[in-house]
Amino acid sequence: MSTRLTLRVPSDYVLKRDVCSYGYFHLAPNTWDPARETLARVLDLSDGAATLIVAQPEDVPGAPLRVQVDRGLSRTAQGEAKRALSRMLRLEEEDLGAFHAVDPRWRASGRGRIFRSPTLFEDLVKTVTSCNVAWPSTRMMNRRLCEVINPAFPRPTQMARRRPATLRARCRVGYRDVRLVELAKLAAAGSIDDRWFEDPSNDDDAVYSALLELPGIGPYAASNMLQLLGRYSRLAMDSEAMRHGREVLGMEGTDTQVRRAIEQHYAQFGDHRFRSYWFELWTDHEKHKGPAWTWPVPA
DNA sequence: GGTAGACCTGGACGC
DNA sequence: GCGTCCAGGTCTACC
Which nucleotide is nearest, taking the CA of residue A144 and each C1'?
B9
Distance CA A223, CA A231 (A): 9
Residue A128 has pLDDT above 90, yes or no: yes
Mean pLDDT of the region A47-60: 97
Distance CA A106, CA A99 (A): 9
Share of chain A above pLDDT 90, in %: 96
Distance CA A7, CA A56 (A): 10
In the predicted model, what is the mean pLDDT of chain A? 96
Please give the single-letter amino acid code of residue A15: L
CA of A156 to C1' of C7 (A): 30
> What local confidence, expressed as pLDDT, does residue A286 receive?
96
Residue nearest to nucleotide B10 (CA to C1'): A137
Q: Is the CB of A196 under 7 A from strand B?
A: no
For the stretch A148-166, pLDDT in tens is 999 999 999 999 999 999 9
Mean pLDDT of the region A165-192: 96
pLDDT range class, residue A205, cuts 50, 70, 90: very high
Residue nearest to nucleotide B11 (CA to C1'): A134
For the stretch A58-116, pLDDT in tens is 999 999 999 999 999 999 999 999 999 999 999 998 789 999 999 999 999 999 999 99
Pairing of strands A48-55, A65-69: antiparallel
DSSP annotation string for A5-32: EEE---TT--HHHHHTTSGGGGSTTEEE
Helix (H, G, I), strand (E, B) or coil at A190: coil
CA of A122 to C1' of C5 (A): 33
For the stretch A217-233, pLDDT in tens is 999 999 999 999 999 99
Which nucleotide is nearest, taking the CA of residue A132 and each C1'?
C8
> What local confidence, expressed as pLDDT, does residue A208 receive?
96
Distance CA A192, CA A121 (A): 9
Q: Is the CB of A133 under 7 A from strand B?
A: yes
Name all protein residues with C-beta less than 7 A from any atom of nucleic acid chain C.
A 131-134, 137, 174-175, 179, 212, 215-222, 238-240, 243
Alpha helices by DSSP H, listed for chain A, are: 15-19, 75-89, 97-102, 120-128, 135-148, 156-161, 164-171, 176-188, 194-198, 204-212, 219-228, 239-243, 255-266, 273-289
CA of A243 to C1' of B2 (A): 23
> What local confidence, expressed as pLDDT, does residue A95 receive?
84
Give ∠ CA A20-A24-A27 in degrees, rounded to 5: 115
Q: Point out the least confidently predicted range of A31-45, A104-118, A251-265.
A: A251-265
Secondary element (H or E) of residue A33: strand A30-33
> What local confidence, expressed as pLDDT, does residue A167 receive?
96
> What local confidence, expressed as pLDDT, does residue A237 receive?
94
Which nucleotide is nearest, taking the CA of residue A242 and each C1'?
C8
> What local confidence, expressed as pLDDT, does residue A256 receive?
87
> A43 has which bridge partners?
A50
pLDDT range class, residue A181, cuts 50, 70, 90: very high
Residue nearest to nucleotide B8 (CA to C1'): A174
pLDDT range class, residue A298, cuts 50, 70, 90: confident
